[in-house]
């Protein structure tokens, strides 16, 4: 019997590793930029074409590589970061496995130009599908210039399942943000199809956050700085009023590496208990400096999951640090200079002698001997005071019970509703509309019902482009993060179709000149951010999906909220419009709108 176990060729092994390391164009940028940082670069330029499908170029001014190192860097497990197994527990670099460049070269066509400061000429290395096509000397500046073209050209299945350019570009922005927030001392630029998306100068961490997410964003941040023998926690957390339901920027970094940690996330959010509404989250940018021997970063291919040796103790340190930052902010009283009409409260003077008050009374007063007769006079025209308060004939009949609605009648014959009269509805706790139907008692959630009504209306306006715009008196400037601005550009046609009038101010700022008619009392700035957040999380690129999230976000914001008292006419209008919708039972996101309590169940309860 012949042997069946064989060693895989290097090209096949590299493609297997590439399936874990290189998932999309953003993965290539992450690996190349991290290598540039490890090389000591102070300026890094990233250029992408077609969201990385066609070309990705990363240029840095780092140390560069020699001719031999350039060739060896594309071999599997070839790295300059570690030498022995113990080095895994003393990592001070972003990369360490030696799989990134080999994985990139296995699924793309790569061109590398690199030169060290000691060399007069550099090296040009060309690879395609892990195979070296050519190597020759070339004139180039100090540093490295990686150009990755035709990603997944030899893996058509992987290339086929890439998302739209807008989605992939948003993923690139997300990966880019996770890196630039760690190294504010490094200059970064990002270009897409020749246009500049980000140009970040070296500066402080707060300045870097402002450059990435907008100047107003940093105004809602509180500094955190706690140093213990176990770890050093620094960074910023948001003020309670900065809490949002969606699109919250929350970042953990450990020794300069981005991390996802649900346990620590809970510690931060618990610090805001009873300060923010339920379901709201507060942004934060927190940086941990921990002894590398106390953490393990080699547990996931993407290196975003990190294992801590003293996880519970760090949880308590983190929670105390966030509470301390909030306490310092909330402990400073606000200065109010509006003192007009306020009572003059004198300052306490301990040296001033205060005399006790002297009460005045009549010692000869006896309530049992003296009687004072109170005389009440009634005006002659007192009947005129009560004119107009008599109930009408219909109201008197309703009070007597002769016109009682069907839902209030007694057991026996059914009393029909009066013709040409609207049925009487009942609103329970300003949340639910209760009305009688043939089979029993119908209970309708007023908010969800209005969401369904408005959703169908906005969706129809999107398809027919019949949305009406209400011009605002003073345009409002709305600023977005670069990653959100990429999504917003794709949503602009749908937003204009529904009634928004936006003009680009540059630097990811838009002026809102007009809003859809009917939402005048709504915070349309928050509405736009919610629409972009919904689209960022769920949009797949089709017009129907984009229109769905735009219409749903609009409906959620403009719908009748829980707690709003409605008149009988308003309740009837909601019911009539609901039953004219395409689906009366469920909201667009699948939540039940109404339920019916059958008549027999009511009789059993009262029987």
- Calculate mean pLDDT across residues 29-50: 92
Find residue 196's DSSP bridge partners.
191
Residue 568 DSSP SS3 = helix
Condensed to tens digits (0 to 9), the pLDDT of residues 43-80 reads 999 999 998 999 999 999 999 998 888 888 888 665 55
pLDDT at 112: 92
pTM higher than 0.75, yes or no? no
Q: What is the pLDDT of residues 378-391, one digit of tens each?
A: 666 666 666 666 66
- Asked if residue 597 has pLDDT above 60, the reply is yes
- Over residues 256-260, mean pLDDT: 86
pLDDT at 186 over 90: yes
Confidence band, pLDDT 50/70/90 cuts, at residue 409:
very low
In the predicted structure, residue 161 carries a pLDDT above the cut 50: yes
DSSP string across 447-491? HHHHHHHHHHHHHHHHHHT---EEEEEEEEEEE--HHHHHHHHHH
pLDDT tens sequence across 370-381: 555 555 556 666
Q: Per mean pLDDT, which of 174-183, 272-281, 472-481 is the most reliable?
A: 174-183
- pLDDT tens per residue, range 275-321: 888 888 899 999 999 888 887 765 555 566 777 888 888 899 999 99
Q: What average pLDDT score do residues 564-575 get?
A: 88
Q: How far is CA 301 from CA 18, 21, 180, 298, in A?
A: 10, 6, 21, 8
- Does the pLDDT value for residue 21 go beyond 70? no
Mean pLDDT of 539-546: 55
pLDDT at 356: 80
Calculate the CA dihedral of residues 594, 563, 522, 446 and round it to 10 degrees: 10
Average pLDDT over residues 114-135: 90
User: What was the pLDDT predicted at 415?
Assistant: 34
Greatest mean pLDDT range, 169-173, 186-190, 278-282, 356-360: 186-190
Q: What is residue 58's predicted lDDT score, i.e. its pLDDT?
A: 94
Q: Residues 133-145, buried b or exposed e (16+ Cβ, 10 A)?
A: eeeeeeebebbbb
E strands, 351-468, where?
426-428, 432-437, 440-445
Q: What is the mean pLDDT of residues 427-448?
A: 89
Per-residue pLDDT at 453: 92
């Amino acid at each position: 019997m012949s042997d069946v176990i064989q060693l895989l060729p290097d090209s096949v092994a590299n493609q297997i590793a590439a399936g874990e390391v290189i998932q999309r164009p953003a993965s290539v940028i992450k690996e190349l930029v991290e290598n540039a940082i490890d090389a000591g670069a102070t300026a890094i330029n990233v250029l992408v074409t077609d969201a990385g499908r066609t070309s990705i170029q990363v240029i840095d001014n780092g140390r560069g590589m020699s001719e031999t190192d350039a060739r060896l860097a594309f071999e599997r497990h070839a790295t300059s970061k570690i030498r022995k197994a113990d080095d895994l527990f003393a990592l001070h670099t972003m990369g360490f496995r030696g799989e990134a460049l080999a994985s990139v070269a296995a699924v793309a066509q790569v061109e590398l130009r690199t030169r060290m400061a000691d060399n007069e000429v550099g090296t040009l290395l060309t690879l395609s599908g892990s195979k070296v096509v050519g190597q020759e000397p070339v004139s180039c500046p100090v540093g490295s210039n990686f150009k990755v073209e035709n990603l997944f050209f030899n893996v058509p299945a992987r290339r086929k399942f890439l998302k739209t350019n807008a989605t992939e570009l948003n993923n690139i922005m997300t990966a880019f943000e996770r890196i630039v927030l760690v190294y504010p001392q490094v200059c970064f630029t990002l270009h897409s199809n020749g246009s500049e998306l980000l140009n970040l100068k070296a500066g402080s961490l707060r300045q870097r956050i402002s450059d990435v997410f907008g100047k107003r964003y940093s105004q809602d941040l509180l500094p955190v700085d706690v140093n213990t023998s176990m770890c050093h926690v620094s960074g910023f957390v948001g003020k309670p009023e900065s809490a949002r339901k969606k699109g919250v920027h929350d970042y953990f970094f450990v020794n300069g590496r981005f991390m996802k940690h649900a346990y620590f996330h809970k510690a931060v959010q618990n610090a805001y208990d009873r300060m923010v509404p339920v379901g709201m989250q507060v942004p934060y940018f927190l940086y941990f400096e921990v002894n590398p021997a106390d953490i393990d970063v080699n547990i996931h291919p993407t290196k975003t999951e990190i294992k801590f040796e003293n996880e519970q103790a760090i949880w308590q340190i983190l929670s105390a640090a966030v509470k301390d930052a909030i306490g310092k902010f909330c402990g400073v009283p606000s200065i109010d200079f509006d003192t007009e009409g306020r009572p003059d409260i004198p300052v306490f003077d301990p040296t001033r002698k205060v005399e006790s008050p002297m009460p005045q009374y009549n010692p000869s007063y006896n309530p049992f001997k003296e009687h004072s007769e109170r005389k009440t006079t009634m005006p002659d025209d007192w009947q005129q005071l009560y004119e107009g308060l008599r109930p009408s004939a219909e109201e008197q009949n309703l009070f007597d019970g002769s016109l009682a609605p069907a839902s209030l009648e007694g057991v026996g014959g059914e009393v029909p509703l009066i013709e040409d009269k609207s049925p009487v509805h009942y609103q329970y706790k300003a949340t639910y509309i209760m009305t009688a139907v043939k089979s029993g008692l119908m209970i309708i959630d007023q908010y969800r019902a209005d969401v369904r009504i408005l959703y169908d209306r906005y969706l129809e306006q999107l398809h027919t482009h019949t949305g009406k715009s209400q011009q605002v008196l003073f345009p409002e400037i709305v600023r977005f993060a670069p990653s959100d601005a990429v999504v917003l550009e794709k949503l602009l046609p749908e937003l204009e179709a529904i009634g928004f009038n936006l003009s680009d101010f540059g630097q990811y700022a838009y002026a809102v000149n007009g809003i859809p008619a009917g939402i005048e009392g709504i915070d349309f700035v928050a509405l736009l951010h919610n629409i972009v957040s919904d689209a960022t999380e769920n949009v797949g690129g089709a017009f129907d999906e984009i229109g769905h999230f735009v219409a749903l976000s609009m409906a959620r914001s403009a719908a009748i909220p829980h707690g709003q008292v409605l008149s009988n006419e308003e309740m009837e209008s909601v019911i009539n419009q609901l039953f004219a919708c395409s689906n009366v039972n469920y909201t667009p996101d699948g939540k039940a709108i109404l339920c019916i309590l059958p008549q027999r169940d009511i009789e059993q309860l009262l029987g």
